[in-house]
């Protein structure tokens, strides 16, 4: 799904949080958003999904202005997993994932066999099938994160927006999630803190002080000089002899002064 953001911005209480961002997300790509704490990544993701009031600029989904679409129309196209998302304590895992079908249901079309199949698939894809009956209140942070991802998958979106999706996950589940995301035939936009993980995206955008200051293929955007300037760390690029991929090792700038 193609998304076009034009001169997008958001100001609250006199403070500009996102400033004049113009960005095209291309159909089928995995787009990584990186930047220091407080640089505006989450706010930009919320603007792209139409969740913030009175934004500056415009977002178009497949050429249609986001503001002309109902929440249900948007939810049939975009699934958003926010940072520290929560759900009702009383739910079981399967119930929480079934919530992903809500945009497709109505009083006349309640949850049917096809919806249940999609929910089962989402539970399997996120390694949660064996926990379907567990109560939300008993889950660990990483398990909850996977439930949110499963709910988003069950929504069958064309654009999946993830805010730090590998947060809380152990290394096995981080890699499984990134592999799953790269295999999905949907467009993905995700905020990431791990720059090595961002190197696996098709394109990367870098936020600094609310502005999108660079955007393009990871190897062109995440250069040691730019990483040093934005994140205030020294970077040593290393080569993985297995597949020749570039990996970063980070050091405090002070260690190199």
Ligand X SMILES: Nc1ncnc2c1ncn2[C@@H]1O[C@H](COP(=O)(O)OP(=O)(O)OP(=O)(O)O)[C@@H](O)[C@H]1O
- Residue list 10-29, contact with ligand X (CB under 6 A): 12, 17
Q: Is 63 helix (H, G, I), strand (E, B) or coil?
A: coil
Q: How many residues bind ligand X (CB under 6 A)?
A: 10
> Judged by CB under 6 A, which of 32, 35, 157, 200 binds ligand X?
35
Task: Tell whether residue 195 is a contact of ligand X (CB under 6 A).
Answer: no
Q: Are strands 187-191 and 30-34 parallel, antiparallel or unpaired?
A: parallel
Residue with Cβ nearer ligand X (37 or 70): 37
Of the candidates 172, 224, 165, the one whose C-alpha atom is nearest the C-alpha of residue 193 is: 165
Task: Tell whether residue 38 is a contact of ligand X (CB under 6 A).
Answer: yes
Question: Token pair for residue 84?
Answer: 């520290």
Residue with Cβ nearer ligand X (84 or 219): 84
> What radius of gyration, in Å, describes the C-alpha atoms of the chain?
19
Closest separation between CB of residue 119 and ligand X, Å? 30
d(CA 146, CA 173): 9
Task: Tell whether residue 39 is a contact of ligand X (CB under 6 A).
Answer: yes
> Judged by CB under 6 A, which of 8, 30, 34, 42 binds ligand X?
42
Closest separation between CB of residue 245 and ligand X, Å? 25
Question: Please, are residues 216 and 203 in contact by the beta-carbon 8 Å criterion?
Answer: yes
Angle 141-154/113-125 helices, nearest 10 degrees?
A: 140
> Judged by CB under 6 A, which of 43, 49, 126, 166 binds ligand X?
43
Question: Please, are residues 201 and 218 in contact by the beta-carbon 8 Å criterion?
Answer: yes
Q: List residues near ligand X by CB under 6 A.
A: 12, 17, 35, 37-43
């Amino acid at each position: 799904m193609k998304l076009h953001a034009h001169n997008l911005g958001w100001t609250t209480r006199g403070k500009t949080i996102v400033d004049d961002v113009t960005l095209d997300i291309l159909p089928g790509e995995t787009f990584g958003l990186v930047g220091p704490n407080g640089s505006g990544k989450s706010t930009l993701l919320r603007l792209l999904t139409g969740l913030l009031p009175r934004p500056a600029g415009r977002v178009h989904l497949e050429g249609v202005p986001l503001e002309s679409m109902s929440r249900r129309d948007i939810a049939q196209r975009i699934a958003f997993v926010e940072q520290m998302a929560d759900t009702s304590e009383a739910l079981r895992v399967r119930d929480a994932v079934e919530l992903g079908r809500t945009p497709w249901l109505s009083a006349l079309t309640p949850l049917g066999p096809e919806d249940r199949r999609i929910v089962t698939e989402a539970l399997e894809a996120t390694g949660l099938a064996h926990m379907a009956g567990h109560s939300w209140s008993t889950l660990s942070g990483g398990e909850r994160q996977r439930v949110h991802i499963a709910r988003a998958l069950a929504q069958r979106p064309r654009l999946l927006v993830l805010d730090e999706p590998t947060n809380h996950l152990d290394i096995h589940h981080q890699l499984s999630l990134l592999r799953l995301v790269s295999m999905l035939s949907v467009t993905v936009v995700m905020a990431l803190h791990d720059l090595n993980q961002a190197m696996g995206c098709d394109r990367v955008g870098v936020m600094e002080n609310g502005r999108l200051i660079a955007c393009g293929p990871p190897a062109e955007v995440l250069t040691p000089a730019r990483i040093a300037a934005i994140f205030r760390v020294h970077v040593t690029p290393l080569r993985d002899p297995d597949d020749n991929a570039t990996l970063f090792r980070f050091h405090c700038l002070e260690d190199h002064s």
